Structure 1
Amino acid sequence: MKKNLHEANRLSWNAATRAHNSHKGDQARFLREGGSTLFPEELELLGDLRGRSLLHLQCNSGQDTLSLAARGALVTGVDISDEAISFARRLSADSGLPGTFERADVYDWLASAPPARYDLVFSSYGAISWLSDLGPWAEGISRVLEPGGRFVLVEFHPVLWLFDEKLRLAFPYSGGQHVPEASGVSDYVARSGENLVSWGYEEGVRDFQNPHPSHCFQWGLADLLNPLLRHGLALERLEEYCYSNGCKVLEGMREAPGHRFLLPEGIPDLPLMFGLSARRTG
């Protein structure tokens, strides 16, 4: 694990999170009135959530976590960003949706949490690339799941991360190779607009420049799946999707119904997201 790089990412996410939430208006009201930030893909994979204990790893500011709570899950969210967790706690109080939120590096949290506690562990949308070592991550997920419990992940496809924003091949596919980014975590919320803020996008912070660099890691599907299998999780379902939900990742992407983005006109389909469900067997 590269904990020094995790710490750099914490600072970068703190700065970016303030910019992101500046565009999102009254999120507590949106949630109180029955709004949800979830997409059909994760809901289908998660299934019935009523009364299920759910751990949301890398939960960011808690919008998805509390949307899961609104569907009956008993939620705990963990994220490395101080700003994100502080916001999530306020959002829980202001929306009236219960959730426990803890600020920690996911590796530290998984290592210290009680075993066999959760029916579901969930993560989504831009989480895996921030992990510097998938072995202890997979081991920790297996450890905190109840026997028969499931890990559900909906994530941007590693094929997508081969390209820069102009759709030029620029990065390695796999192996956890380190990709530093001097400009840090971007204001992708501003770039995506109402597709991420369906209840009313606000201009908020303009021309955000992150003062803190960030560090990502390039993982292929085999890099991800093999540690899960080694640590007692059985793959039950794997899906690939030729669109991205909510987030305009590449220049020239076309908007589609359901707040989805497609590749630019004339570009052959590529998988832009994937989803999986894996069950703890022991």
Structure 2
Amino acid sequence: MDERTGRWRELNQASWDERVHIHLGSTFYDVAGFGDRRDSLKDFEKAEVGDVTGKRLLHLQCHFGRDTLSWAARGARAVGLDFSPPAVEAATQLAADLNLDARFVLADVYDAVSALPGQTFDIVYTGFGALNWLPDLPRWASLIAELLDDGGFLYLAEFHPFSFVLDDETGRTVTNDYFDEGPHLSGGPGTYADATAETEHDVTIEWTHMLSSVVSAIAGAGLRIEFLHEHDHTFYLQRQSLQEHADEIYRHPVGAPRYPLTYSIRARKPG
């Protein structure tokens, strides 16, 4: 194991801190356009979560808050939490600029309970590209159970781990070990939002959690899984073999065998 994996939190935070302002200015995130539409959520997320009017919603690993503010625009009493000071600062400013009622808390996700003392929520939400930064899913699920009010639910939308087992060019050949969850050295110069951006903090540590690991962690925390949905589309060029459709949705070519690219879970705390 590379000695850098023990510094996963330090390396990952340095990378995210550096990239916040790159992302704010990128066409990928289109902050100006977001100010007009105030909605960065996927259609199935909105349908599966349902009406959030008046609900207390916590968004874990919120980055600079687009999704948090999208829930706020839909009527939620939203709180976003992230470990990056520049991200929380940017999110707070964006909320003020758009006059949206949301607040943001600076804390590592594993410190969320102590960062929100005595607070519980109707909904805990976590979106795409979050779980791969976490080494300990049972601990993550347990803190979510503690943060949920009785009868509240976790809603998770993520990239499907099976899609990363296959080769990038064709998406038909198994090239990676599904059962090797990591840690993995990752990263590189630039960012998914701007490949040409000049960056210094280019080493990150990630995990590729099996779907069974995610489901088992959630169930093990005492949450009752209401559904697990697997989707045949995604929201970036996850494999070179995918084809772009309207609204930046990527799908398998027509007539080609399909496999899941994303998934979503809703799990409720009894009570």
Query: Is TM more than 0.5 here?
Result: yes
CA contact (8 A) 1:162 1:172 kept: yes
1:55 is matched with 58
Question: Could you tell me how far 1:56 is from its partner in structure 2?
Answer: 0.1
Preserved contact between residue 244 and residue 262 of structure 1 (Cα < 8 Å):
yes
Show structure 1 runs of 5+ residues with no match: 192-205
Aligned residues: 265
2:127 aligned residue (121, 124, 127): 124
Q: Determine the C-alpha separation between the residues in 2 that align with 1:28 and 1:216.
A: 27
Q: 1:70 to 1:214 in 2, by over 3 A?
A: same
How far, CA to CA, are the matches of 2:197 and 2:30 in structure 1?
Answer: 22
Which structure is richer in relative contact order (CA contacts within 8 A, separation 6 or more)? 1
Other-structure match for 2:12: 9
CA distance in 2, matches of 1:13, 1:122: 20
Specify every segment of 5 or more residues in structure 2 that has no aligned partner in the other structure, as ranges. Answer: none
Quick one: which of 234, 250, 254 aligns to 1:261? Answer: 250
C-alpha distance 208-179 of structure 1, shift in aligned 2 (>3 A) = same
1:178 deviates by: 0.8
Q: What does 1:1-282 correspond to in 2, within 5 Å?
A: 4-24=7-27, 30-115=33-118, 117-163=120-166, 165-166=168-169, 167=171, 169-174=174-179, 176-183=181-188, 187-190=191-194, 206-245=196-235, 247-263=236-252, 267-282=256-271
- How far apart are the structure 1 equivalents of 2:179 and 2:28? 38
Match in the other structure for 1:195: none
Instruction: Identify the residue that residue 197 of structure 1 maps to in structure 2.
Output: none
Q: Supply the RMSD in Å over aligned alpha carbons.
A: 2.4
With the length of structure 1 as denominator, give the TM-score of the two structures.
Answer: 0.85
Offset at 1:268?
Answer: 2.4
What TM-score comes out, normalization by structure 2 length? 0.88
CA offset at residue 219 of structure 1? 0.6
Query: Would the alpha carbon gap of residues 54 and 175 (structure 1) be closer, same or farther in structure 2, given more than 3 Å must change?
Result: farther
What is the identity percentage for the equivalent residue pairs of Structure 1 and Structure 2? 30
